[in-house]
Amino acid sequence: MDTSASGQKIAFLGTGKIGEALLSGLLRAGTHPADVLVTARRPERAVELAAAYGVTAVSNAEAAKLADTLILAVKPQDMGSLLDELAPHVAADRLVISAAAGIPTAWFEERLATGTPVVRVMPNTPVLVDEGMSVISGGSHATELHLARTEEIFRSVGKAIRLPESQQDAATALSGSGPAYFYFLVEAMTDAGILLGLPRSVAHDLIVQSAIGASVMLRDSGEHPVKLREAVTSPAGTTIAAIRELENHGVRAALLGALEAARDRSRELAAGGK
């Protein structure tokens, strides 16, 4: 991206965990702070963001008027009241990008001026380290130009792919929530290290570096995960003893059920639900 102010303004409406992660990534990738607006519910949060990043804190209505691209990153449950406040101020030539789980583009289209382009994106928190995975789907008024602009934004902080909107709830279960599953596993395996008598910091380092090594091999080797696992699993060895325990405890089935539950919860959030 360009490193000077472009005049093309992006506004983050709701700058919590994912909003701030995206904001910091865009600035790192070269978007000029003068091109970035943020909104926050609490005035102290707005001040904090402006001081930390050099961006401009504005009201939601001002963001709608000033920015070409609006990134909506409030909780699905807060999206209704945000749209009530915002809709009268959003001209139909603005690009509206929602990062909210569950809520379909049609829901936004019903509340915004006729013809407003809406794009739904499911990012994940590794955008903080430029390793994000973002899944993009266009609404009925989003053109190739709007999708390309969205890709440009999200590719500056990781990978971005387009999928049909019908697959967004599944994508949310896989990559949107995905980092949490890996953190959960690392936490549990670190506890196992404690059980085996290792100091916590040593257990943490052994597991985290193993996770990094395994991730890089998964990404770069071109090998199927089964093949990579087989290469670790020696006949009558240690790994197969552990795998038997995982299978005995139904870990594979638990993961199938867990991701299905996440997909179902995303569907429940479709109406900005509780």
Ligand X SMILES: NC(=O)C1=CN([C@@H]2O[C@H](COP(=O)(O)OP(=O)(O)OC[C@H]3O[C@@H](n4cnc5c(N)ncnc54)[C@H](O)[C@@H]3O)[C@@H](O)[C@H]2O)C=CC1
Interface positions with ligand A1CAB (CB under 6 A): 101, 172, 176-177
Q: Is residue 75 involved in binding ligand X (CB under 6 A)?
A: yes
| Min dist. Cβ of residue 264 to ligand A1CAB (A) | 12
Nearest residue to ligand A1CAB by CB is 176
SS3 180: helix
Of the candidate residues 49, 57, 64, 82, the single one contacting ligand X (CB under 6 A): 82
Task: For the beta carbon of residue 248, count every other beta carbon within 10 angstroms.
Answer: 8
One-letter amino acid at 100 equals A
CB nearer to ligand X: pick between 20 and 203: 20
Round to whole Å and give the CA distance between 81 and 270: 15
- Which residues lie across from 137 on neighbouring strands? 120
CB nearer to ligand X: pick between 120 and 193: 120
Q: Are 168 and 142 in contact (CB under 8 A)?
A: no
CB nearer to ligand X: pick between 116 and 168: 168
SS3 92: coil
Sheet containing 10-13: give its strands across.
56-57, 36-39, 10-13, 69-72, 95-98, 118-122, 132-138, 158-162
- Identify what 99 binds: ligand A1CAB, ligand X, none; CB under 5 to 8 Å per kind: ligand X
Mutual angle of helices 251-268 and 238-248, in 10-degree steps: 50
In 3D space, the residue among 1, 6, 78 whose CA is nearest the CA of residue 40 turns out to be 78
Q: Is residue 73 involved in binding ligand X (CB under 6 A)?
A: yes
Of the candidate residues 16, 155, 189, 205, the single one contacting ligand X (CB under 6 A): 16
Q: Is residue 25 involved in binding ligand X (CB under 6 A)?
A: no
In 3D space, the residue among 47, 51, 55, 45 whose CA is nearest the CA of residue 22 turns out to be 55
CB nearer to ligand A1CAB: pick between 24 and 125: 125
Of the candidate residues 99, 135, 153, 173, the single one contacting ligand X (CB under 6 A): 99
CB nearer to ligand X: pick between 206 and 265: 265
Of the candidate residues 78, 131, 151, 205, the single one contacting ligand X (CB under 6 A): 78
In 3D space, the residue among 34, 20, 139, 133 whose CA is nearest the CA of residue 71 turns out to be 20
Of 75-83, 141-149, 194-202, 232-240: span binding ligand X (CB under 6 A): 75-83
In terms of DSSP H, where are the helices of 29-75?
A: 43-53, 60-66
CB nearer to ligand A1CAB: pick between 208 and 261: 261
- Identify what 39 binds: ligand X, ligand A1CAB, none; CB under 5 to 8 Å per kind: ligand X
Q: Which residues bind ligand X (CB under 6 A)?
A: 13-19, 39-41, 60, 73-76, 78, 81-82, 99-101, 122-125, 176
